[in-house]
Amino acid sequence: MYKIGIIGSGSWATALAKLLTDNDQTIYWWFRHRHQADYFQKHKHNPKYLAHLHFDTSHITFSDSIEFVAENSDIILIATPSAFVKDAIDNLHNDVFKNKKIISAVKGILPDKIELLNDYLKRNFDVPLQNYFTVLGPCHAEEVAAEKLSYLTFSGIDEKETAHIASLFKTDYLNTRTNPDVLGVQYAAVLKNIYALGAGIAHGLDYGDNFLSVFIANAADEMMSFLTKLSLHNDDRLEPNYASSVYLGDLLVTCYSLYSRNRMFGAMIGKGYSVKAAQLELNMIAEGYNASKCIYNINQKLHADIPIATTVYNILWNDFSTEDTFHKLENVLH
């Protein structure tokens, strides 16, 4: 039996913790604020996220110390929004993750250095890629909490170890898959949030389902083009199936689902909200916002043809008119 540390206390972290406790795994769980951890311990549910979901807290040790969580864990699950990862762990001592397995549930690029979590961990904590794994959808926290059949894909360069990590989360209502494309799946998760934000803008502008189907089909093609360019740039010999659930499936559910915070954020932008007003109204992190700027900057070297992602970037960061910019995009889609 492993001891698993969780860094993060939002809805995604809470849903993943449910899977682990349903499998009787021992958890050390970090909460930034002690009073929230104390509330969870007493009332057996997260006070802020998925509050209807009750836990057997006998499997959980709560702490407001990341050092304590890391030192007592064999596997560490990082499930904070990408913009907050650095603030959470930047001051930890350099060998805190030594010989630990790291699972990333982060669905974005760390904006400070425009890098994936694995690059940040290697640079700051010397975490080797063979000790790094990712967990991605298509999967919404709300449906995991409701025990609706869902799928998660775990990626890592060691196939046997990846399968073992995945088995810790498998339940009757959660199927797991494995994938060796540990870098590509992370960029796919970043891109799908941008496209979901764009789908939301289209909805806010009152485009219909016919346009949205064309938009998403083009987004899938654009994602494949970007990831192919990226793999060539990195001299990656993998040939992933981009039609599989971790790529296309996650794109579809994020663009269509009413649970998608990126789609909700985009819909507000399409209806005329400013970025700041939409952020205040949503009261949750829409990863696609920072991701659009990061991908735009990364693409200055790759030169992939990504008109949809560029359109979203220009609306969010350069104050382009939503109506005019989407009207121009209409003529680019095929």
- Specify whether 156 is located in the same domain as 203: no
Q: Work out the percent of the chain whose per-residue pLDDT is above 90.
A: 83
Residues 174, 63, single domain; the answer is: yes
State the pLDDT confidence band at 235, using cuts at 50, 70 and 90: low
Q: Mean pLDDT over all residues of the chain? A: 93
CATH code for the domain of 202: 1.10.1040.10
Q: Please state the rounded mean pLDDT for residues 285-303.
A: 93
CA gap 11, 136 in Å, rounded: 14
Q: Are residues 146 and 221 in the same domain?
A: no
Q: Domain of residue 326: give its range.
A: 183-330
Tell me how crowded residue 154 is: count the other CB atoms within 10 A of its CB. Answer: 26
Please check the confidence at residue 166 and state whether its pLDDT lies above 70. yes
The DSSP 8-state label assigned to residue 139 in this structure reads -
* Residue 129 and residue 13 share a domain: yes
Among 75-79, 283-287, 320-324, the minimum mean pLDDT is found in: 283-287
Q: Which of 180, 214, 243 is the last residue of a domain?
A: 180
* 265 & 172 share domain: no
Residues 116 and 234 in one domain: no
- Could you give the C-alpha distances from 254 to 198, 263, 271, 279, in angstroms and in order? 11, 7, 19, 18
| Model pTM above 0.75 | yes
**204 with 171, same domain?**
no
Per-residue model confidence (pLDDT) at position 258 = 85
* Per-residue model confidence as pLDDT tens digits over 43-53: 999 998 999 99
Final residue of a domain: which of 180, 205, 226?
Answer: 180
The domain total for the chain is 2
Q: Give the model's confidence band at 154: pLDDT under 50 very low, under 70 low, under 90 confident, else very high.
A: very high
Asked if residue 137 and residue 46 are part of one domain, the reply reads yes
Q: What is the CATH number of the domain that holds 71?
A: 3.40.50.720
Q: Which two tokens stand for residue 236?
A: 């990656």
Q: Give the pLDDT band (50/70/90) at residue 153.
A: very high
In this prediction, residue 237 has a pLDDT band, given cuts at 50, 70 and 90, of low
pLDDT computed for residue 286 by the predictor: 86
| Alpha-carbon span 310 to 172, nearest angstrom | 41
Q: Are residues 204 and 151 part of one domain? A: no
Residues β-bridged to residue 5: 28, 76
Is the same domain home to 279 and 141? no
Say which residues have a Cβ less than 8 Å from residue 129's Cβ, sequence separation at least 6.
118, 122, 157, 182
Question: For residue 38, what pLDDT is reported?
Answer: 93
Give the pLDDT of residue 134.
97
303 and 194 in one domain? yes
What confidence tens digit (pLDDT) does each residue in 108-148 have?
899 888 999 999 999 999 999 999 999 998 988 999 999 99
If asked whether residues 131 and 204 sit together in one domain, one would say no
Residue finishing a domain among 148, 180, 212: 180
Interatomic CA distance for residues 144 and 276, integer angstroms: 30
